[in-house]
């Protein structure tokens, strides 16, 4: 189905209704498989011991936090250049989920840093740039709530989203450009992953599971946002009718 057909919110809602039960089932299966592998199958690391298991939540959360901002940036182009009616709905529904994954990434990273590095937090380039992304997520959510009219709020938020997208390459390459306490990339790197398959497979399974979880929550949140906007329109029409 071409993207333009989805511009019709009713058709989109019907599609979401059909897809959601399957997505929920797939998420539960992947999450069960991922957690089982992470907790019971994956071996301890040769130097970090069992703390390496924090990675199975930390790394997928970090990937998703960045992927969600990238998704919102594409949606922002959709809002600003194409005026696609669902682009702003998609971005607005994704922001709290992105903020949640960023928070999870920061929290698990902090808990992992204490035993391994010897500190909960340092102001190195990687940690700081991710904290900046978290604050920008919160700023975006606040911006959407500050402006009353959804289409004006959407355009302002889209511009802020694109400005924040400049942070994405900074986060990714911070560990290569500057000296940091955070180690360089383990999976997406020149020369292939530096993680043994017995740890890499559970990691990728957890990444798939959390991506499916995001897709499920995102579609449900988009549906809620569309319905919320319909209610708003109906209330305004009713108020006009009452005053006329």
Partner 1 sequence: MTRRQRRLLLLGAGLGVLGLAAALVLSALKDSIVFFNSPSDIVEKRVTPGTRIRLGGLVAPGSLERGSELAVRFQVTDGNRAISVAYRGILPDLFREGQGVIAEGALDTAGVFKADNVLAKHDEKYMPREVADALKKQGYWKDDAQKRDAARPPRQVP
Q: In whole angstroms, give the CA distance from residue 166 to residue 187.
A: 22
Nearer Cβ to partner 1 (40/46): 46
Which residue among 17, 22, 178, 238 contacts partner 1 (CB under 8 A)? 178
Which residue among 48, 74, 141, 160 contacts partner 1 (CB under 8 A)? 48
Site string for partner 1, 89-128 (x = CB under 8 A): --------------------------xxxxx--xxxx---
201 counts as binding partner 1 under rule CB under 8 A: no
Residues 6+ apart with CB under 8 A from 52: 42, 44, 45, 199
Helix H or strand E segment including 172? helix 167-177
Q: In whole angstroms, give the CA distance from residue 230 to residue 244.
A: 21
Residues 6+ apart with CB under 8 A from 14: none
SS3 239: helix
Which residue among 1, 4, 166, 190 contacts partner 1 (CB under 8 A)? 166
151 counts as binding partner 1 under rule CB under 8 A: no
Nearer Cβ to partner 1 (6/77): 77
Residues 6+ apart with CB under 8 A from 96: 141, 221
185 counts as binding partner 1 under rule CB under 8 A: yes
Residues 6+ apart with CB under 8 A from 129: 167, 170, 171, 174
* Least distance CB 78 / partner 1 (angstroms): 11
Where on the chain is the footprint of partner 1 (CB under 8 A)?
43-50, 52, 55, 77, 80-82, 115-119, 122-125, 162-163, 165-166, 170, 177-181, 183-186, 189, 194-196, 198-199
């Amino acid at each position: 189905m071409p993207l333009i057909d989805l511009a019709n919110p009713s058709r989109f809602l019907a599609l979401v209704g059909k897809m959601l039960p399957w997505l929920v089932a797939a998420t539960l299966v992947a999450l069960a498989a991922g957690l089982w592998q992470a907790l019971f199958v994956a071996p301890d690391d040769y130097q970090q011991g069992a703390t390496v298991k924090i990675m199975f939540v930390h790394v997928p959360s970090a990937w998703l936090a960045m992927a969600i901002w990238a998704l919102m940036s594409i949606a922002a182009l959709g809002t600003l250049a194409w005026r696609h009616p669902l682009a702003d709905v998609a971005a607005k529904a994704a922001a709290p989920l992105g903020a949640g994954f960023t928070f999870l990434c920061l929290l698990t990273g902090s808990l992992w840093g204490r035993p391994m590095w010897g500190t909960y937090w340092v102001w190195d380039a990687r940690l700081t740039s991710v904290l900046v992304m978290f604050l920008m997520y919160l700023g975006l959510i606040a911006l959407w709530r500050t402006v009353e009219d959804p289409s004006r709020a959407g355009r302002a938020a889209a511009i802020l989203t694109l400005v924040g997208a400049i942070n994405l390459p900074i986060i990714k390459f911070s560990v290569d450009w500057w000296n940091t306490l955070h180690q360089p990339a383990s999976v997406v790197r020149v020369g292939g992953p530096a993680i043994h398959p017995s740890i890499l497979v559970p990691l990728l399974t957890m990444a798939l599971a959390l991506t499916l979880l995001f897709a499920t929550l995102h579609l449900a949140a988009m549906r809620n946002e569309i319905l919320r906007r319909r209610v708003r329109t109906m209330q305004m029409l009713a108020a006009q009718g009452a005053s006329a």
